[in-house]
Amino acid sequence: MAAEAHPTWRLIYTTNRDVLSLGGDWIAQSGSIPQFPPDCLAESAAGRTIAFDTAGLGRWDTGLIEFLWDAKRTAASAGLRIDGSGLPDSARKLLGLLPDKLTAPGSALRRRFRPLYELGGKTLSTLAELGALAELLAVTTRGAARSLTARARMRAVDLLANIRDAGPQALVIVGVVNFLVGAILAFVGAVQLRKFAADIFVADLVGIAVVREMAAVMTAIIMSGRTGAAYAARIATMRGNEELDALSVVGIPVTDYIVLPSVLALAVTMPLLYLYGCFVGMIGGFAVACAMLDITALGYLHQTLAAVPLDQFAFGFVKTVAFAVMIGVTSCRIGLLAGRSAADVGLAATKAVVVGIVGVIAMDAVFAVIADVVGI
């Protein structure tokens, strides 16, 4: 390939027209394309013609067109006429496709920062969002009630598929996490309680902590990250593909068809996962306690049974159902609200996880206060 000649241009004023004379190679990627000076045609009176001389022109690509477009816009704003007959045929045609002047790009409106305005707007939208969530919850509950009489527009297939995704397929991760949490609690307890020769009370510590708090919260956090995020992403993607629009045009309510089976699936599987988590968590504690302390296996089991009455399970069970409904409804709502691009799907999934985890912890705190007042 021959060495590139530097692009050159001259503007020649003749009596009846200005001639733009071009020479050299005009290759865009060479980075040496000059800019047409905006004031260059200032001396030419409006109505004059500008023509081109390309006798010295070497190779060219869009770099030339870029320069010519600059010139064309400058000429148009100075009221000059363009005579493209001196240009290579295809360059003239490409130039013809380009507009005479740039419409200012629709710039993003930069609003002034107004703290009160922002605060008010945020507060109002939060309130509105809470209302929308409550409405979605109400509609879903009504759908659930109707589904008891098989009148909801939900298919058993979808519910079962959702239950399979949220239940059996989560067993391993819920098991591993709860086992480790139980084991960690036993470690912490063993080290402290041994100082008071109260080794056997490790069973109480692990049993109550796991059943009352840890199994419920850990399971909810895992399910929020695993299933809640999946719901949000799935619904956001369906929104991007206009699938939700298609559903509502056909007359299938999105709440019945998508939200209801999702929430129901979580509400069914999470309490079961919670019980399973309790069991596995206590096994974790049992394993560590038996290995570290001088306790018999039977003694540990006996102590656990005495320490954890059934109402503790009931408390954890009820909490988990509440967590499940909250995670299901907020995740679906976040998915329904998402924008239509790939980035929005990612944002929706992230938001679902964040809201889910913060929501679970906050609700757990509320439950703790209630339990204290009621005396469970």
Task: State the residues that interact with another protein by CB under 8 A.
Answer: 1, 28-29, 31, 33, 35, 59, 61-62, 65-66, 69, 88-91, 93-94, 97-99, 102-108, 339-344
Structure tokens, 92: 């003239």
Smallest distance, another protein to C-beta of residue 34, A: 11
Q: Which is closer to another protein, CB of 33 or CB of 186?
A: 33
Q: How far is the CB of 259 from another protein (least distance, A)?
A: 24
Decide whether 66 or 165 has the Cβ nearer to another protein: 66
CA distances to 323, 356, 369, 371 from 364, rounded to whole Å, are 9, 12, 9, 10
- d(CA 96, CA 99) in angstroms, rounded, equals 8
Please, are residues 200 and 299 in contact by the beta-carbon 8 Å criterion? yes
DSSP assignment letter at 16: S
How far is Cα 26 from Cα 17, in angstroms, rounded to an integer?
A: 24
Minimum CB distance to another protein smaller for 88 or for 253: 88
**Closest approach of Cβ 37 to another protein, in Å?**
14
Q: Give strand pairing partners of 370.
A: none
Question: At its nearest, how many Å lie between another protein and the CB of residue 22?
Answer: 15
- Both structure tokens of 107: 């710039």
**CB nearer to another protein: pick between 265 and 338:** 338
293 and 199 Cβ atoms separated by less than 8 Å: yes
**DSSP labels, 211-246:** IIIIHHHHHHHHHIIIIIHHHHHHHHHHHHTTHHHH
What is the closest distance, in whole angstroms, from the C-beta atom of residue 81 to another protein in the complex?
Answer: 20
Cβ distance 189 to 292 under 8 Å?
Answer: no
- How far does CA 261 lie from the centroid of its chain? 22
**CB of 27 or CB of 174, closer to another protein:** 27
Residue 11 is inside which H or E element, if any?
strand 8-13
* Cα–Cα distance measured from residue 96 to residue 323, given in angstroms and rounded to the nearest whole number: 63
Residue with tokens 């707007």: 121
Q: Measured from the CB of residue 70, what is the shortest distance to another protein in angstroms?
A: 8
Contacts of 164 (CB under 8 A, 6+ apart): none
- Give the separation between CA 20 and CA 322, rounded to whole angstroms: 77
Rounded distance between C-alpha atoms, residue 143 and residue 153, angstroms = 8
At its nearest, how many Å lie between another protein and the CB of residue 69?
A: 6
Of the pair 26, 257, the CB lying nearest another protein is at 26
106 or 251: whose CB is closer to another protein?
106
CA angle 348, 353, 356 (to 5 degrees): 115
Q: Least distance (Å) from another protein to the CB of residue 156? A: 32
Q: Which residues pair with 248 in a beta bridge?
A: none
Give the residue with the Cβ less far from another protein, 48 or 92. 92
Q: How far is the CB of 25 from another protein (least distance, A)?
A: 12
Q: Between 165 and 344, whose beta carbon lies closer to another protein? A: 344
